[in-house]
Structure formats: C-alpha cells, structure tokens
Amino acid sequence: MAEKLQIESNQPSHGGRWFIVFAVLCALTAVSFWVANSQLMTENRLLGQVLMLAISCGKALIVVLCFMHLWWERAWKFAVTIPALIIAVILTISLIPDVGYRGIRYSSVRLKFAPVESGESDNAMQTSRAKE
C-alpha cells in the first residue's frame, strides 16, 4: 500500500489551483457563448463555428490534463487514449461516404423524399425518376 501511495503521490496538491482551472473553464464557456451571440456569426459563420469548436477542444484538454491528472501520468496514458482517439476519428470519417454525401449524390428514393431538392444525382437516377 505504501508503494502504491508513493506511485500516485507524484501529483500536485494545491487546492486553490483547481479553482483557477475552474475559473478559466467558465471564462472559456463565456467566450464561446459570446461568440455565438456576436456579429461574427452573421458576418463569418464558419469562422465563428470553428472558433467555438476550438474553444471546446481547449476546454476538454484542460479538463483531461488537469482534472483527470493526465498531465502528471506516465507514458501509459498514450497507450490508453491515442488508439481510442484514432478509432474515434476513423469511425467518424467512415460515415462520410454514405451519410455525409447524401445531400450531394442522391439515390432515387432519397431524391423522392428529400426535404429540399438539391445536389446532383447520377444520370441513371434522373432517368429513373423521370420514368416515375
């Protein structure tokens, strides 16, 4: 047990620091809330969206590194987190061909029931729709 405590005691023990981290997180939340209601969202929507997601990534990183103590952990942290993150990204990318492009390349069924007709479909699909 003494050994175990020794292993885990390589983390800082300053109560007050956690509140600074908490204050930073709240401030970042306020910034993204401000961005969402600022002129930026009407002028350059994409920039605003990217900014808000970047703030989220920053907040998540702060929580993981500080609150979850990952900053002070040994190299095993990479073995546990990085493969999971790679698979997470692959999972999302693998959705793009079928799901993400559904507004660009319609199947005849989708074309029929689409909320708003847009995008281009194959010539074959267009003729199949013309037959209907």
Residue 27 touches other proteins, criterion: CB under 8 A:
no
Residue 47 touches other proteins, criterion: CB under 8 A:
no
Q: CA-to-CA distance for 14 and 10, rounded, in angstroms?
A: 13
Spell out a b/e string for 62-91, using b for 16 or more CB atoms within 10 Å of the CB, else e: beeebeeeeeebeeebeeeeeeeeeeeeee
Return the number of other C-beta atoms located less than 10 Å from residue 36's C-beta.
Answer: 13
Residue 31 touches other proteins, criterion: CB under 8 A:
no
Pick one of 44, 84, 107, 120: the residue that binds other proteins (CB under 8 A).
84
Residue 71 touches other proteins, criterion: CB under 8 A:
no
What are the backbone angles phi and psi of residue 120, rounded to the nearest 5°? -115, 150
DSSP 8-state secondary structure symbol assigned to residue 42: H
List the beta bridge partners of residue 106.
121
Residue 83 touches other proteins, criterion: CB under 8 A:
yes
Closer to other proteins by CB, 69 or 129: give it: 69
Judge contact between 109 and 125, C-beta under 8 A: no
Residue 125 touches other proteins, criterion: CB under 8 A:
no
Pick one of 43, 71, 95, 111: the residue that binds other proteins (CB under 8 A).
95
Q: Which residues bind other proteins (CB under 8 A)?
A: 1, 4-5, 7-8, 13, 15, 18-19, 21-22, 25-26, 29-30, 32-33, 35-37, 49, 52-53, 55-56, 59-60, 63-64, 67-69, 73-74, 76-77, 80-81, 83-85, 87-89, 91-92, 95-96, 99-104, 113-119
